[in-house]
């Protein structure tokens, strides 16, 4: 797991290629990251599918309660099949763009 901070966002990259173990590690460290927007980069895990993405729903809800953005970066996913409660994008750049839009919405009171 590699952690990088960029402004008001924390990027956590899975380096082991196991999304369930990665989810467990990030969930256990929620208190550390709850003050920032979070991008989880699981794009290097080739076994990621819609079923494994759905495991992140509870963690996404925790960040939403804290009024922070939570975005998953994954490749090879049919984004039309992703739950509306999850934000999944194909690149880290798109994740940053999504967080910027959500911050603007929060500032405007949406």
- Verdict on whether the full-model pTM lies above 0.85: yes
> For residue 86, how far is the Cα from the chain centroid?
8
Q: What are 86-92's contacts with CB under 8 Å, separation 24+?
A: 86/53, 86/54, 86/56, 86/57, 86/60, 87/60, 88/53, 90/43, 92/11, 92/39, 92/41
pLDDT digits 0-9 by tens, 44-87:
888 888 999 999 999 999 999 999 999 999 988 888 889 999 99
Angle CA(85)–CA(74)–CA(7) in degrees, nearest 5? 80
List, in order of start, the domains of the chain with CATH numbers. Answer: 2-108 (3.30.750.24)
Confidence of residue 19 (pLDDT cuts 50, 70, 90): confident
């Amino acid at each position: 797991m590699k952690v990088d901070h960029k402004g008001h966002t924390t990027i956590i990259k899975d380096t082991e290629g196991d999304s369930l173990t990665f989810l467990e590690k990030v969930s256990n460290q929620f208190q550390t990251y709850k003050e920032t927007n979070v991008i989880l980069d699981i794009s290097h895990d080739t076994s990621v599918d819609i079923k494994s993405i759905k495991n992140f729903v509870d963690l996404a809800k925790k960040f939403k309660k804290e009024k922070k953005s939570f975005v998953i970066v994954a490749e090879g996913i049919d984004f039309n099949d992703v739950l509306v409660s999850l934000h999944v994008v194909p690149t880290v750049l798109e994740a940053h763009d999504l967080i910027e839009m959500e911050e603007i919405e929060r500032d405007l009171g949406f």
